[in-house]
Structure 1
Amino acid sequence: MQNLSLMLLPVLATQKGAGASLIKPLGHHELLLVLVQLSLLLLVARGLGEFMRRINQPPVVGELLAGVLLGPSLFGLLFPDLQAHIFPKSQEQSDLLSVISWLGVLFLLIVTGLETDLKLILRKGKTALLISLGGIIVPFITGFGLGWLLPDSFLADPEKRLVFSLFIATAMSISAVPVIAKVLMDLNLIRRDIGQVTLAAGMTDDTIGWILLSVVSGLASSGKFDFGTIFHSVSAAVLFLGIAFTIGRNIVDQILRWVDDYVGGIAASMSVVLVLSLSAAAFTHALGLEAALGAFVLGILAGQSRRFSSEAGHMLEVFTASFLAPIFFAAAGLKVNLLALLVPQTLIFGLIVLAVACIGKFTGAYLGSRVGGLSHWEALAMGSGMNARGAMEIVVATIGLSLGVLNPQMYSIIVMVAIVTSLMAPALLRFTLSKVVMGEEEARRLEQEEQYSRSFIKRIHRILVPTSGGSNIQLAAQLVGYMAHQNQVEVTALYALSDKQPPKKARRTATQVKDTAAEEALACVTEEMQLSADTTLQIKTESGHSKAEVILNEANKNYDLIVLGASEQIRPQKALFNLLVDRVVQEAPCATMVVKSHLPQPQGETCKIAQQQLKNILVPTVGTEYSKNAVEVASTIAAHTGAVVTIVNVINLPQVEYILYEQRSLAPVKEIAEDLLEQQAAIGRNLGADVQTYILQGSSPEKEILKFAQSKQADLIVLGSNIRMVTGRVFFGHRVDAILNKAHCPVAVITGT
């Protein structure tokens, strides 16, 4: 103990000498003020935002006005002492609010990135690029000219007019995708062709705008204009974007995949995206670029990953929209002094800036749209949408003020431009888009998208295939492979082990046998699937208290479908398949598909079966949601294999004593059956399948289906059913049970959640 004291004496002496430089905790008054500021800003911002929503205006406008009203324009005018006490002109107090405002900027850009659809941009690439270039080049030129001609009183530093002009040019070029998207959603136009082109152009515009902003910010930070600074900024931006959209995309996807597999849950998904985004923001800031660019790009990469939880994205969006974004917009509005804008010179030049901003963006977007092949009214609609500045303009203005490029007077003008252009967008879009006529091709696409939005098969993105070998699961794997070729899915092959320990002497041998069996079963199933190179395949061997628990635990990691093979062995009398399969089907958190091959059991547990040639797939239907799911699965398989899908409906003939009465009402029953079959056939044809329909009659539907399947030489029967619980076993109904057990060909039973 004495030796320890002697060792610590030099350390304690050093700390005592440095005692005067210890960092003090946040003072009581400073903390009180920041809490009052946050609560007041949030209350007024959210209140005015909701009011704007009620009158069909973007909420961001109300949130901006909240800060304006709480600043010197109104609150400061009516109660100057109280306003100065709550929002003092203190650097330390301002820094506290600035930190939270900057978090709002970064979170807003992360959410915008999550909602950015790169496929949409690529699909509408040529038109969107032309519109975006027109919407950037023309406003950039007019904005640069405006910055060059403005009086010195509007410049923070007249010696840096070139950098100032470049900053004004960038501010004039930017568009606000969140405002545009919100207006299109409110008008129910977001999936229209014009809506998609507007979004794609806006996203491209924003991406180019952030690169421009990063370059100009780099120039502003260096305090001089030279080609070395420009080269550094441009090369850093190109390097970052190049790494992000090549190696970075895979790294982000792998990290999200690992977190989803080994941690799981919405909180973990949300946390890892925030860590990556803030790290990327720090990285771009260290490169001399704008921190917002890093957050925006990481948001895009996370949004493209299939493993990023949509619930986590929704929570992040809600948190940002309800807290951080309103605080940021309101805090930005605090710096605006409308009284200063009423000064004749400022008012005149403010209106000039607004006019240049609107004319430049409208002209550029219109010309780009016309060159891109859009009509007159579509081009005007593009100009109306792209003219909205909203949130992005405020971010640019905030950055300009923090870098000392903008003075308070010019900052107020740019915020005013953001508010006015955002207010103009909804009314102009409503008017111009009402003149745009929908074409036949667009109508067909929208109808197909509407069907896909309700589709069972299109909602399947992750498939779990537990395996222990055998003909049933091998055939099931073949069916999964066919589905994976039609839809972009991620497949996981799982070999489940039980932790029940064998006797000590046999433990080593048992482990070796298990390892060999797992390798053979997984290799066999993955080979049967014959997945394309762009399909993600994971192979897992997991152990737990029981095999069923292992499968169910894995299934709880956001899978959409579990594909099982029926038991290869003699099943217990009280089970439909076997105890393991029955339990998984009963407790599954998602849809299941159980396949019974009715093929001869090959010698050896995992001996390969032949690739089954599917030419005729039979789907009995009664018009339920479960039957529709079966039609979708069968049609997806048929679209890849070229098989014909035959959909049948059985009219149950009445008992002998009711024949005379029922004969009069059989015709309407047939009409109902025909309508039902036509609806189901349309679903199959939309998925690319060749579909036939038949109406069968008989007193025993299951016998008629089995007889029809044999006469038509069906290669596969796909059934849709709900799960009914009978004495602890899976029960799909007597008809499904009968077809499962007596069919001469393979049977797949689909259950929905």
Structure 2
Amino acid sequence: MPKQRGFLPFVFYIFILLISVAALWGTLYFGESLTPSSLRPTTEGAMTLRGAFADFQTSVSHHADSTIGVLLLQILIILIAARAMGWLFRKIHQPAVIGEIVAGILLGPSLFGRVAPETFDALFPASSLSNIQLLSNFGLILFMFAVGMELRLGDIRKQLRSSIIISHTGIFIPFVLSLPLSYTIYSDYAAGLTDFTPFALFIGIAMSITAFPVLARIIQENNLQRTHLGKLSLSTAAAGDITAWLMLAAIIAIAQSGSLMSTGYNLLFLIVYLLVIFGIIRPLFRAAGKVYNNIEVISHGMVGTIFILLLLSSYITELLSMHALFGAFMLGLVMPEDLSFRKIVTDKIEDVSLMLFLPLFFVSSGLQTELGLIDSPERWALLGVFTLIAVVGKVGGTYISARASGESPRSSIFLGAFMNTRGLMELVVLGIGYEMKILPPAIYAVLVLMTVITTVMTMPMVHMINWVIRLGERRRDRIETIDKQAGAKVLLSFGRPSSGVTLLRLTDQLLRRGEAHPNVTALHITTDKNINSIEVDKFFEDSFRPIMQEAQQLSQPLETEHLVADEVEGTILSKLTAEKYNLLIVGAGVRLSSDEDDREATTMRQQMKRRVGSFSVRTTESLLTIHSMLRDKMAYFVHRAPCSVGVLLSRSFHSPKNILLYVANPGDLRLLPYARTMAENNKATLRIIASRDLPPQSLSLHPGEELLPDKLLSLPEGCDLVVVSYTHWQEAFDTSEDLLSRLPSTLILNLK
């Protein structure tokens, strides 16, 4: 160990600092004479405080007007508006992406440009729009790559026949219905802009596409991802998106070709490209996915190779007149279907593309959308006709094909409502058509508004269908549930996978009577509604694998449920109320956790409260979206849950052999059967500390049980589990830091 040298290092540091300052001053002082007289300040005022501030203002103004200054300010405004509207739309139970689309329209000439034209021109000068467009196009390449990865071919193969029939019918019917409309409006709107064929084809594909990413999030929010309907919806949308993008690539090739022969060459090279992608690239990536399946072994070289292939694929399809986005989409489609691999790659790409680049695309689209062009009864009628054809064609076509495939009327109408979601994918298609000057501004504005309307109406349609058909089903399900369940019905809510195992072990020891097991549902909630389907499956696999293995070892029947919600406690309460559970089992939370990181977070939070006050700490935590993880959930559940609540403060809880029960009042005697069951299941010793005020006749000991002296704050040696009521916990334990630090694993029960 090096010797301490007292003040010598400090003196040496001061000496070096003084020498450096002197050298800098001397160089600047004597070097000033080398400056040409033409570059020196011409007035005395320049050397005054006021003159220096004027120079500072000039410098700030110059950098604010620079290309990068304008772009950074635009990005800040765009991101703030997108986040605010996304939050607002989530509050009204709409996908956040719709709010971001609306934010883009509001920042464009339709609203901002009309209300404050001078400010609009200052913030979004025409000369700067190309920079936003360039960045948004690059972001779309990343996003389409991520979308391609969400569409797993293996999932489609599981329901290939139904998916193909339903998706293709849902594409072809609105496509065909749109052709007469295109024929009717072509002369008035697009005759001087483009040929009829590309115009009609673009209108058709715009009417028939489904937004897979938005649909996937709607499926999550309705907790359908593991049901037959949810899986069929996702596989149908996936098959439809692949077909639609293949059709779009062919349509772009036709639109950009100079002749029929040129179109043939484009389509020929498209086939060659697809053969290379699926015949060579995909098998290579499948092999790589078996090796590169965790973050520790994925190298920068592998990620760099993926990005190079992404740009190369996009470049090739751009050269072949099929747009760069098609190449990005197809490369994502052939990525390895291993969940770990795709999760790692999407983590590196999707956050940047979703949070930064996509809002730029929405605003870029909004800047091109002039809703003021819909300025006559004729054009409003046109919007109504477009929307009617889009909804009837998509919902009706999907319903008919689903019924023909053997689906029930309920599943078929839900499928129709889900497939009506157009969202972002529609905007991408419309943006391509507008950029290629196939869609005139008025028709572009009508179709953008139709996109917003049909996507916004998806959730109300789903709720309306539920409202119509759910009453009978709920009544039947309740009867079936009562018939099937004889034991306690327990909801076990966990966050970390390891805590799920611990809570299941506790539940088994607390409620199992011989071979009779409780009815347990394990619930895990992911608190981000913007996650994609790959992440949902990966989170489910990682979160539930340990608890399912533990359930198998315990021979404990277990139902699993994974929900995606913004608010954990409210979601748990809603489930408790709707499904009438007898008991909720949860962990004690961060504040009482024995985990080192949790304890440090709690200590730091208390220190911050003392320094800046509780309000400032809560505000900061809310902005960082960590307040819900740090606050005390025990009191929340005890006071609001409609059933009994058990909270485990775990100190490496496993199979306790010395159990201590506190009985502070007659009401605590209700805890005795639970403590005895735990002792019996663990072949453990049960010791009881009873209050002196308790009537002697109220407590009769079983053989092997021991009554200890009334020392309410004592902890007998060797005790490895404490069972206590919530009321006594608050009175004696929760207020004593010293006692909390000495506690073994503790089960806090509030029985109702």
TM-score band by shorter chain is: 0.5 to 0.7
Q: Segments of 4+ in structure 1 off by > 4 A?
A: 254-263, 265-272, 436-440, 453-457, 624-632, 649-654, 667-677
Matched, 1:343 2:376: yes
Deviations 1:230-270 (A, max 9, x none): 54444434333333233211222455667779983586665
The answer (yes or no) to whether the contact 1:142–1:360 under 8 Å persists in 2 is: yes
- For residues 49-128 of structure 1, the aligned pairs below 5 Å read 49-90=86-127, 93-128=128-163
Alpha-carbon offset, residue 278 of structure 1:
2.4
Alpha-carbon offset, residue 359 of structure 1:
1.5
> 1:169 maps to which residue?
204
- For residues 213-292 of structure 1, the aligned pairs below 5 Å read 213-224=248-259, 226=260, 228-254=261-287, 264-265=297-298, 271-292=304-325
Give, as a single letter, the amino acid of the residue that structure 2 aligns with 1:113: G
Q: Residues 338, 246 of structure 1: CA spacing in aligned structure 2 closer, same or farther, 3 A cutoff? A: same
The answer (yes or no) to whether the contact 2:289–2:336 under 8 Å persists in 1 is: no
State the Cα RMSD in Å.
Answer: 4.5
The answer (yes or no) to whether the contact 1:187–1:430 under 8 Å persists in 2 is: no
Deviations 1:198-234 (A, max 9, x none): 111111110000001101111111255x3x3454444
> 1:714 maps to which residue?
none
> 2:79 maps to which residue?
42
The answer (yes or no) to whether the contact 2:289–2:337 under 8 Å persists in 1 is: no
Q: Residues 57, 303 of structure 1: CA spacing in aligned structure 2 closer, same or farther, 3 A cutoff? A: farther
> 2:190 maps to which residue?
155
> 1:387 maps to which residue?
420
> 2:176 maps to which residue?
141
SS in structure 1 at match of 2:109: coil
The answer (yes or no) to whether the contact 1:108–1:320 under 8 Å persists in 2 is: yes
Give, as a single letter, the amino acid of the residue that structure 1 aligns with 2:444: Y
SS in structure 2 at match of 1:356: helix
Matched residues, number: 461
> 1:585 maps to which residue?
none
> 1:353 maps to which residue?
386
Q: Residues 31, 626 of structure 1: CA spacing in aligned structure 2 closer, same or farther, 3 A cutoff? A: closer
Q: Residues 36, 117 of structure 1: CA spacing in aligned structure 2 closer, same or farther, 3 A cutoff? A: same
Alpha-carbon offset, residue 313 of structure 1:
1.9
Q: Residues 271, 308 of structure 1: CA spacing in aligned structure 2 closer, same or farther, 3 A cutoff? A: farther
Alpha-carbon distance in 1 for matches of 2:169, 2:191: 30
Alpha-carbon offset, residue 149 of structure 1:
1.4
Query: Unaligned stretches of 5+ in structure 2?
Result: 1-62, 482-490, 501-540, 556-653, 660-672, 684-703, 705-752
Q: Residues 653, 296 of structure 1: CA spacing in aligned structure 2 closer, same or farther, 3 A cutoff? A: closer
Q: Residues 66, 347 of structure 1: CA spacing in aligned structure 2 closer, same or farther, 3 A cutoff? A: same
Give, as a single letter, the amino acid of the residue that structure 2 aligns with 1:123: K
> 2:649 maps to which residue?
none
> 2:239 maps to which residue?
204
The answer (yes or no) to whether the contact 2:171–2:209 under 8 Å persists in 1 is: yes
The answer (yes or no) to whether the contact 2:109–2:370 under 8 Å persists in 1 is: yes
Alpha-carbon distance in 1 for matches of 2:299, 2:453: 38
Alpha-carbon distance in 2 for matches of 1:289, 1:107: 17
Deviations 1:428-481 (A, max 9, x none): 1233256376999xx99xxxxx99x99999x9xxxxxxxxxxxxxxxxxxxxxx
Give, as a single letter, the amino acid of the residue that structure 2 aligns with 1:84: D
Give, as a single letter, the amino acid of the residue that structure 2 aligns with 1:359: V
Alpha-carbon distance in 2 for matches of 1:251, 1:240: 16
Matched, 1:302 2:339: no
Q: Residues 88, 344 of structure 1: CA spacing in aligned structure 2 closer, same or farther, 3 A cutoff? A: farther
Q: Residues 185, 676 of structure 1: CA spacing in aligned structure 2 closer, same or farther, 3 A cutoff? A: farther
The answer (yes or no) to whether the contact 2:399–2:416 under 8 Å persists in 1 is: yes
Alpha-carbon offset, residue 651 of structure 1:
13
> 1:31 maps to which residue?
68
The answer (yes or no) to whether the contact 2:168–2:240 under 8 Å persists in 1 is: yes
SS in structure 1 at match of 2:315: helix
The two structures have a TM-score, normalised by structure 2, of: 0.54
Q: For structure 1, which segment, 391-400 or 107-116, has the greater mean C-alpha deviation from structure 2 after superposition?
A: 107-116
Alpha-carbon distance in 2 for matches of 1:233, 1:364: 31
Give, as a single letter, the amino acid of the residue that structure 1 aligns with 2:122: H
Give, as a single letter, the amino acid of the residue that structure 2 aligns with 1:193: H
Alpha-carbon distance in 2 for matches of 1:131, 1:152: 34
Alpha-carbon offset, residue 344 of structure 1:
2.7
> 1:186 maps to which residue?
221
The answer (yes or no) to whether the contact 2:108–2:363 under 8 Å persists in 1 is: no
Alpha-carbon distance in 2 for matches of 1:198, 1:627: 32
Alpha-carbon offset, residue 172 of structure 1:
0.9
> 2:461 maps to which residue?
428
The answer (yes or no) to whether the contact 1:214–1:293 under 8 Å persists in 2 is: yes
Alpha-carbon offset, residue 388 of structure 1:
1.0
SS in structure 1 at match of 2:93: coil
Matched, 1:365 2:398: yes
Deviations 1:576-604 (A, max 9, x none): xxxxxxxxxxxxxxx99xxxxxxxxxxxx
The answer (yes or no) to whether the contact 2:294–2:341 under 8 Å persists in 1 is: no
Alpha-carbon offset, residue 283 of structure 1:
2.0
Identity of aligned residues (%): 25
Alpha-carbon distance in 1 for matches of 2:97, 2:379: 24
Deviations 1:326-384 (A, max 9, x none): 22122212211121113333222122112111111122111111111112222211111
The answer (yes or no) to whether the contact 1:214–1:233 under 8 Å persists in 2 is: no
Matched, 1:397 2:430: yes
Of 221, 230, 244, which residue of structure 2 is paired with 1:195? 230
Alpha-carbon distance in 1 for matches of 2:674, 2:344: 46
The answer (yes or no) to whether the contact 2:193–2:437 under 8 Å persists in 1 is: no
Alpha-carbon distance in 1 for matches of 2:364, 2:292: 35
Matched, 1:323 2:323: no
Alpha-carbon offset, residue 176 of structure 1:
0.6
The answer (yes or no) to whether the contact 1:175–1:393 under 8 Å persists in 2 is: yes
Give, as a single letter, the amino acid of the residue that structure 2 aligns with 1:46: R
Q: Residues 240, 670 of structure 1: CA spacing in aligned structure 2 closer, same or farther, 3 A cutoff? A: farther
Alpha-carbon distance in 2 for matches of 1:308, 1:346: 48
The answer (yes or no) to whether the contact 2:193–2:438 under 8 Å persists in 1 is: no
Query: Unaligned stretches of 5+ in structure 1?
Result: 1-25, 445-449, 460-559, 562-590, 593-623, 633-648, 655-666, 678-698, 700-753
> 1:293 maps to which residue?
326
The answer (yes or no) to whether the contact 2:163–2:235 under 8 Å persists in 1 is: yes
Alpha-carbon distance in 1 for matches of 2:224, 2:257: 44
Alpha-carbon distance in 2 for matches of 1:85, 1:55: 33
> 2:601 maps to which residue?
none
The answer (yes or no) to whether the contact 2:336–2:342 under 8 Å persists in 1 is: no
Deviations 1:542-600 (A, max 9, x none): xxxxxxxxxxxxxxxxxx99xxxxxxxxxxxxxxxxxxxxxxxxxxxxx99xxxxxxxx
Give, as a single letter, the amino acid of the residue that structure 1 aligns with 2:106: L
Give, as a single letter, the amino acid of the residue that structure 2 aligns with 1:81: E
Alpha-carbon offset, residue 628 of structure 1:
5.3
Alpha-carbon offset, residue 87 of structure 1:
2.0
Alpha-carbon distance in 2 for matches of 1:626, 1:412: 54
Q: Residues 415, 261 of structure 1: CA spacing in aligned structure 2 closer, same or farther, 3 A cutoff? A: closer
- For residues 673-688 of structure 1, the aligned pairs below 5 Å read none
> 1:722 maps to which residue?
none
Give, as a single letter, the amino acid of the residue that structure 1 aligns with 2:400: L
Alpha-carbon offset, residue 51 of structure 1:
0.9
Alpha-carbon offset, residue 392 of structure 1:
0.5
Alpha-carbon offset, residue 672 of structure 1:
7.1
